[in-house]
Amino acid sequence: MSHTCNYKPKIGISACLLGKPVRYDGGHKLNQFIKTNLENLVDFIGVCPETECGFGIPREQIRLEGNPESPRIVGKKTHTDKTERLSAWIQKKIMELKTENLNGFIFKSKSPSCGLYSLPVFTCNEKFQSTGTGLFTKAFIKKFPNIPAEEDSTLKTKTQLNKFLKNVFPAIKFNYMEKKMNFPDIINTLKSHSNPESIKGMARFGINPETALGVSMPTLRSIAKTAGKSHSLAEKLWSSGIHEATILASIVDDPKEVTESQLENWAHDFNSWDICDQCCINLFRKTPFAWPKAIEWSQRSPEFVKRAGFALMATLAVHDKKATDNQFNILFEAIKRESTDERNFVKKAVNWALRQIGKRNLSLNEAAIRVSKEIQLTNSKSAKWIASNAIKELTDLKVQDRLANTKNS
């Protein structure tokens, strides 16, 4: 970022967009894109009309009702009119914000109090009749018509943010696209997204929740996009031991700087199938060690290292467009050999590799089906499941049609 002075613009913002648990159900609507890109450039002034006016948490959801030009705020279920209480608070808040000398405001879309654009206004009979603006937002714009205002739904790209910032404070030349998140920024961001309910869900899917925060993959990819590629950052993230940080490390690392010893060290640290798979998908397959490690690790004993071998086979089948059929035919030996491993995360990876190789083209499909039938004859519960599941998918008409069309195209 470059600018002509050290002054930080003051931006009013709906508090839920900053991750504050102020919504009717005690939740939030954290906008990571806005927060990450602006928090070091501006001073945020968080506002939540519904909470600050005393509606409480949890509370009944509200909506706009009545005359579209001057709608009322009413409870969705009880139809209790809450307009007077909110309006009284708005008058006081507007005067308070006048002393803040705000340079701009970002409102929460679809909020009956804060929405800026196209909020539905209903009749008393619950029928949609028109659109309007949130009560607080309408009062704010009337009092401060020259303060740039937008809602989060219109600030989804860097171009849109940059345009907003230029309107907010034209004396400063913002170039937040150069801003990169550092290690402390990322760890703090991950912790701000911690979700205990998601952690419980992870455990139900067999993911090791020991050091997990419950951060979603879309959020991790958003953070990675802001952080950019960095081998040194990846090493720090991996060393943190935080579940999501290790996955993030696999996304931000530079495959060109990855060494064989790093692959071995990371594979040795695997303690959950999702970390194993994400490393193979995001990073390991892009290194020159992918093919030899696929075969080598398939012979190792540790469950997640062995899984990594077959996860690599599966991801290479999907992504390595230059690989020959012979390279994949060689892998069938390892698949047959390890098909008797009864460990859940191994047998599923063996099956995954067999299916992905078999969906690469018609020739490999025929070979994979043949191998599956050979495996099916093995006196092993695991082998029989791997084979029957693979045959079912590989002989499916949709798969066969796709492979036939690919051949003819």
- Give pLDDT tens digits for 176-229: 444 567 899 899 889 888 888 889 889 889 999 999 999 988 889 888 888 889
pLDDT for 5 equals 40
Average pLDDT rounded to a whole number, residues 51-57: 94
Contacts of 61 (CB under 8 A, 6+ apart): 24, 75, 76, 77
Q: How many CA atoms lie within 13 A of 182 on its CB side?
A: 2
Res. 45 pLDDT band, cuts 50 70 90: very high
126 touches 91 (CB < 8 A): no
Contacts of 161 (CB under 8 A, 6+ apart): 34, 37, 38, 155, 176
Q: What is the mean pLDDT of the chain?
A: 91
Tokens of residue 38, six digits: 């602006």
Beta bridge mates, 149? 105
Is the model's pLDDT at 376 over the cut of 70?
A: yes
The single-letter DSSP state of residue 396 is -
Looking at residue 255, what DSSP letter applies?
Answer: G
How would residue 362 be classed by pLDDT, with cut points 50, 70 and 90? very high
φ, ψ dihedrals at 286, nearest 5°:
-90, -5
Q: Is the pLDDT of residue 338 over 90?
A: yes
**Vertex 333 angle, CA 330 and 335, to 5°:** 110
Contacts 24+ apart (CB under 8 A), 287-291: 287/255, 287/258, 287/263, 289/258, 289/260, 289/263, 290/316, 290/320, 291/316, 291/327
Q: Which residue's structure tokens are 């089906």?
A: 369
Q: Helix, strand or coil for residue 148?
A: coil
Domains and their CATH numbers in the chain: 10-178 (no CATH), 180-257 (no CATH), 271-409 (1.25.10.10)
pLDDT reported for residue 179:
54
In the numeric block, the tokens 């005393």 are attached to 54
Q: In the predicted model, is pLDDT for residue 68 greater than 90?
A: no
